[in-house]
Amino acid sequence: MDKTLAELAQHVGGAVVGDGQVIIERVAPIEEAGAGAITFLANPRYRRHLSDCRASAIIIGLEVAQGLPLGDGKGYLVASDPYLAFAKILKLFEVSPYFSETVSAFAHVDPTSELGAAVTIFSQAYVSGGAKIGRGTVLYPGVFLGAGSQVGEDCVLHPNVVVREGCRIGNRVILHAGVVIGSDGFGYAGRGDGRVKIPQIGVVVVEDDVEIGANTTVDRATLGRTVIGRGTKIDNLVQIAHNVVIGENSVIAAQAGIAGSTRIGRNVTLAGQVGVVNHIEIGDGATIGPQSGVAKRVAPGAVLSSGLPASPHQEWLRVMTLLPQLPKLWQAVRGLEKKLAQLAKREGSKI
């Protein structure tokens, strides 16, 4: 697996500063990287870490490179997108886990299910009747596939993932531990003792190259489909309600929640703990800041925030006491304006 720094630079389309022939054996965090290791420093703020760094090479961006005495004897790999270079080099050195490409005798696999070649099913996984699993896919222990569900090729379903009946997962999808796909949408009609459950007979469609974080939940549609678009990445503990449709390549951070039937465009970013109400649309490329509440349509490309920055408790209490009095404050200011105008008029001056 060993590579020279020059080979790595070529792999990522970057430039070498220093000795390109130094051998790189692994990737390590900057505080721990020693001889044989390549490490990574993207943020100019952390430039001070460089002086103590004993790595054989450091991946940096142009911004960091500009402030450096590059002839300091250290090896540098300078890349225009250092994160991307880092990702590619990590990928090179990543040790893929070994999969048996067999079905454990201690898994339950219904005879009416269809399995592609080289599928790995660990013991204690459960595959229901009519389920289809594509070539090379891995089901860890505790995974449950419901009746007639489909999982494409080269997917990894981590331990205790649940994909309920009829749901469809594309190719190269990663579902982290505890993810639930296809739980019933939260729908009731009537009220009080007369409240009845609206049967949720739709499905979830997760398109290719999606990754979904641990313990995230995606509800099935009432009718039709809840859709997670191709390439979209979802973090841990996110809630996606019934009939939500998310476009391609969007990014949804941890603990965000999207209420029923809302449509999220392509390349949208929702930061952590964002909440989006039901039945609205968030346009392509929009970015919503942490903890924001989105209550109405968002235009494409909009950058919205509503998270409140924490402040010292006593100060905050004072502000919170005054906040409900904003209407009174406006009234006071309007009153002052009027009185001042009267006074000025009486006095004959123009202000």
Q: Which residues are catalytic?
A: 242
Pairing of strands 168-169, 150-151: parallel
Match 């269809």 to its residue by tokens.
114
Task: Tell me: does residue 330 bind a copy of itself (CB under 8 A).
Answer: yes
Q: Does 48 bind a copy of itself (CB under 8 A)?
A: no
Interface positions, 7-46, toward a copy of itself (CB under 8 A) = 27-29, 31-32, 39-40, 43
> Which residue, among 236, 276, 247, 242, has the nearest Cα to 261 in the 3D structure?
242
Query: Least CB distance from residue 142 to a copy of itself, whole Å?
Result: 6
| Cβ neighbour number for residue 39 with a 10 Å cutoff | 24
- Residues 6 or more apart from 324 whose CB is under 8 A from it? none
CB neighbour list of residue 201: distance below 8 Å, 6 or more residues apart: 222, 223
Selected from 122, 134, 151, 167, the binder of a copy of itself by CB under 8 A is 122
Longest dimension (CA), the chain: 99
Interface stretch with a copy of itself, choices 63-71, 111-119, 130-138, 158-166 (CB under 8 A): 158-166
Q: Which residues partner with 77 through β-bridges?
A: 16, 59
Q: List binders of a copy of itself among 74-103 (CB under 8 A).
A: 81, 83-84, 86-88, 90-91, 93-95, 97
Closer residue to a copy of itself (CB): 18 or 82: 82
Of the listed pieces 51-59, 69-77, 130-138, 290-298, which binds a copy of itself according to CB under 8 A?
Answer: 290-298
Among 174, 203, 204, 227, binds a copy of itself (CB under 8 A): 174
Contacts of 155 (CB under 8 A, 6+ apart): 134, 137, 138, 169, 170, 171, 172, 173, 174, 175
Task: Give yes or no for residue 114 binding a copy of itself (CB under 8 A).
Answer: no
Among 124, 263, 281, 300, interactor with a copy of itself by CB under 8 A: 124
Which of 223, 260, 231, 267 is CA-nearest to residue 244?
260
> Which range of residues in 15-23, 63-71, 131-139, 196-204 is near a copy of itself by CB under 8 A?
196-204
What is the residue type of 305? S
| Residues 202-231 within binding reach of a copy of itself (CB under 8 A) | 202, 211, 213-215, 217, 219, 221-224, 231
**Residue numbers 227-286 binding a copy of itself by CB under 8 A:** 231, 233, 235-237, 239, 241, 248-249, 251, 253-255, 257, 259, 267, 272-273, 275, 277, 279
Q: What sign results for the dihedral spanned by CA atoms 59, 64, 65, 69?
A: negative
